[in-house]
A and B are shown apart, each in its own frame.
Chain A
């Protein structure tokens, strides 16, 4: 607050920035079998993956859009480019990255982060991974961290064993879409007993107008391992709609722990529809930390299937919905094994006409014993144009459970505002501080640079919200 990275002006940051179009090759607008074949050929994929894509495409045509949640009626699948390949082969050194791409990542602070905190960075640019670097000792431990295209080529056995097992393409229309046209993302495999002590990160960025992002991430944490994966994105502002329909699959084998953090800050016109699901086996833990700001329509319900005894699942969700935005987010946990526990914590803020909705499910299957689950949803509505909705579902089919749910909706307390103002803070600053305080218990679960970025984003959003 009193110090700022000199290269980022508040103005610039808020309105985004864009580089001249770097794409060399794009498939034509719209989607059909030829486009899917072209994508597969461009990537040099083996036949089995091409077949997978084509079968997924058939399923995509058959299914209808989900009819609950945010309003998706403006998505026109024919008006989107499904693939673009920028110039330059996959890089391994920061110095070799083309200049304006470097500048982009300079501005959002990758070099510093890379030096201090990261094990490796995959930078996505128009759906191809341009730059990738893995720390030597991770490679030595047998950790695989690459893009999914490389994984298909170099680790086909692993891919065939796990790809599409957590989210089959028949699961829903958007999963089918992604399965057909996926491009980029991350593939992570952590061998038994290995604890990756530094978070793995990847950045995404949409640069091209009317372009959809379909990255696919698969994380396999073998027995007793630990990994923290961070996904964060930023994108420039465009007039037409952009579609982001990603799929993230996580498999946490017995005793493993996976934490997946996201700060999503797409520009205002993006449709952000993500399917994220994890399977946790015996004594495994999966934690989704999900922050959503920006994007016209978001539907994200990270879910965890607790399939092994003693497994634990946690979803921490932060949503900020401003003018013209609809955040429909939450989490799902399904208890399929004994002695499992889950926690869902959701904090949302709506202002300036935004709509923030929590939608969540806690399901306990028949005969499952000794289950504990707790869901807490807190919502702040900042003005009388905004809306907050809470739709929790508890479906309990066992008598040996303790399931609790609590939700609270309120506004910024006048007394708190008065208190902070009596210490010299303007109403705007006091409001921003209270809002940041509201989110703090969740924000402090994020790595430091994300926490800072999120706090800064909140302050930007709060500007002009008063008076």
Chain B
């Protein structure tokens, strides 16, 4: 077990190192550095600026400095938002996105698992067909389509829900629905097939044969086993939610990390792009490691290598 965890963590660290190195050198491919968009700056001011951000030094020194800073949690200064460090921006914006993302993941799990299970219990009946239909469509519709359709219908045509920001509970309904749509459909599909698999197993027949009630059969024997594939999906789900938040936060003008990231791309705020990328990469990679380890802990049938 310890060896496995060590191996996974080492791989994760290597991945994060590679991502930050790739990010650093990609950013330096851009000619003129971060001040490209700055108009009509005198050479002196340009030099002063470059000195301030450490851009006058050779690339290898810059790389070393950035990596050393990274280890200490220093992601550098934002170019566009004067006087604020990237770490500060992430610290203020991330909680908003985390709340939104967390609620969406919760919704997806709480809706997707029952939907998939109901479909499996009623295999071939109308309930199953409805769930299959929803799941198939849900996987095919991009998040920005869901977002804009919701916005159009409930925000503008019917006027039931507020369209901008995140000030009240009502504000959360549309963004969370939009963000949870795809994962719900995916989890429902996953859950349906794994539940069907479990229901056909011998231990289910044994459970029924020894006289266990329907409730105990389902919750104690079927659900516990069938939910395992969903656990493995949690890692990719987090990645999806984070990238999905780029679109959702942009459309509903939510001041989270996603809209900040998109803004930093269009505004060419390179330190912020870099910082956010590395931050999100660390988040996703470490989540994947945790999920993998948790999965092996939950399911004793899987041999640790």
* Bind each other: no
B residues sitting closer than 8 Å to A (CB atoms) are none
